[in-house]
Structure 1
């Protein structure tokens, strides 16, 4: 059973949520795009219901709210160390279905891939998720091909239309806060059923695919900027940085910062050795991890079909076209 809300009740719902949560969602940051006088849509703290962007895909994913670009994990002096405190309040994140599926991938890597990541778990357990219904496919989306266009295990589902808003709650905590508002209703959930782009993921690649000459063409085109990794909701790699304070060089803080398998230095090891030195080798590593290696280990693909990497590449390298080439080599 769901709830049908009018526009006034929608704002009331948002204000009630603000009292218990820091509410995050995709919003417009004016004048901060890559080109002059352009805007960008990325996740941030919402101050009103009207700030929430429904009609377009965010340029960056929800990942930077749950797993910050730069996060202080501990403070140290010459004598002692202190773990950094977590966020003060619970968080509620509005996100689309593809990003909600990406959450499962992040959980797999940080909570089930060996020892649990303490900092991720702390944030994860302090966060609830509201899935935003999609009326139509975004640019370069192929979520239907990846089976991530629909989801069920959300805490809240919400979708606005000309009549107001339809909402479903599957979290006891949210039910206590919101159930007294709106009229009882049962409506069909709005999710994208068709994308302009259809992708067939190869399921039977030859063992020697990593030696294929197709990867060489990316060596001259890719500039190794790492933007595809930073907008991807399922990339999880990070590096560590120790920051020493100027007023006391024996004290400082340790931060973990997003890293990219596409940039120079990522695969460097002690002794000056480096793996995957060419951009073609790095492209191969990223793509095969998303649609082959990860599935062999966990049983489903890492890629969720959001298409952000396709949108953001400054060299117009098509991830979708790469997948199509791999499909043509399947079984050979």
Structure 2
């Protein structure tokens, strides 16, 4: 079923939903952008439709709603520990198809990992319902179609904001009760069919990995990358974290253990006792992240790629590194490598035109 509402009516429904759910959506934080006099669009709790930024891509993903940047796992003393109990309320997240698909990637890591399912992630993930936000055709840096993440069936509601009305498709019968006596309409969510950017995913054979790791492209991008980790902070499918024990000043024998986001691009991410690191250069780190997104994850779970093509890493990079361009260049380099292995000279489309 689908319904057409004015903004007053949608606010009435949001008020009813708020009594049962915590509702999160992209909101505008005025003056808090990365450049002077710019805004930042980030997920936060909302109670009114006017708070939702529906016609711009959010700078940050909704990942931190379920997997917080800093999360207390348990409290401890010298004799015992107490787990940090999960919140009890259910959650509605206004999200786009790429971000919903990103949660599916995180589910593989945190929930479908044999005997190592993450109870802290699960406690919040089980409470989530998605309200699918219309993408309005997508944005400059998006390449979700190439990644196959432009569509999803995992949503309870689908929402299209217009200047005076809001159209809502109800895909979960448990939400029907909130729309009693509302005028029905014929709205159906329109998934993006074509992005401005198209990405040709590299076809990587396991026996090629050693040669791919030595490609000059990594040194080229490594000279530009500053290892700041901004791309991993905004990525909806990144999952790296570290843990820290915090001792209280008033009682050194008591404290808490926290899980904190980490980044594979940070120089100290693989540092071990004695100062040795597995990936000491920016080139090695950007190579690891790239191959993890489009090869390692898929090989591990025998499923889709980890990257969902949201383009936020490109948007936030201070060195203007486009991940879509990197993938296209890598694809061309691997084609050259494959042809050379067969003893035939490779001529790219660009060089032959």
Same fold (TM over 0.5): yes
Worse-superposed segment, 183-192 or 302-311: 183-192
| Deviation of 1:181 (Å) | 4.4
Aligned to 1:216: 219
| Deviation of 1:175 (Å) | 2.5
Aligned to 1:186: 186
C-alpha distance in structure 1 between counterparts of 2:295 and 2:65, whole Å: 28
Aligned to 1:67: 67
C-alpha distance in structure 1 between counterparts of 2:276 and 2:239, whole Å: 23
Aligned to 2:109: 109
Worse-superposed segment, 301-310 or 261-270: 261-270
Worse-superposed segment, 11-20 or 59-68: 11-20
Contact kept, 8 Å, 2:169 with 2:188, in 1: the verdict is no
C-alpha distance in structure 1 between counterparts of 2:155 and 2:173, whole Å: 12
| Deviation of 1:124 (Å) | 0.5
Corresponding position: 1:315 with 2:323: no
Corresponding position: 1:47 with 2:47: yes
Corresponding position: 1:303 with 2:307: yes
C-alpha spacing 1:188/1:90, structure 2 compared with 1 (3 Å): closer
C-alpha distance in structure 2 between counterparts of 1:194 and 1:248, whole Å: 58
SS at match of 1:243: strand
Question: Max radius of gyration: which structure?
Answer: 2
In the superposition, the TM-score normalised over structure 2's length comes to 0.90
Within-5 A mapping of 1:7-86: 7-86=7-86
Contact kept, 8 Å, 1:6 with 1:182, in 2: the verdict is no
The RMSD of aligned alpha carbons is: 1.5
Aligned to 1:155: 156
Contact kept, 8 Å, 2:169 with 2:189, in 1: the verdict is no
SS at match of 1:257: strand
In the superposition, the TM-score normalised over structure 1's length comes to 0.95
SS at match of 1:300: coil
C-alpha distance in structure 2 between counterparts of 1:297 and 1:202, whole Å: 17
C-alpha distance in structure 2 between counterparts of 1:181 and 1:270, whole Å: 65
Residues 37-64 of structure 1 show CA distances to partners (whole Å, capped at 9, x for unaligned) of 2210010111321000000000000001
Aligned to 2:137: 136
Residues 249-276 of structure 1 show CA distances to partners (whole Å, capped at 9, x for unaligned) of 1111110000000001111223432101
C-alpha distance in structure 1 between counterparts of 2:308 and 2:81, whole Å: 39
Contact kept, 8 Å, 1:5 with 1:181, in 2: the verdict is no
- For structure 2, the residue ranges without an aligned partner over 5 or more in a row are 339-353
Residues 119-151 of structure 1 show CA distances to partners (whole Å, capped at 9, x for unaligned) of 000011122111111112123011111121121
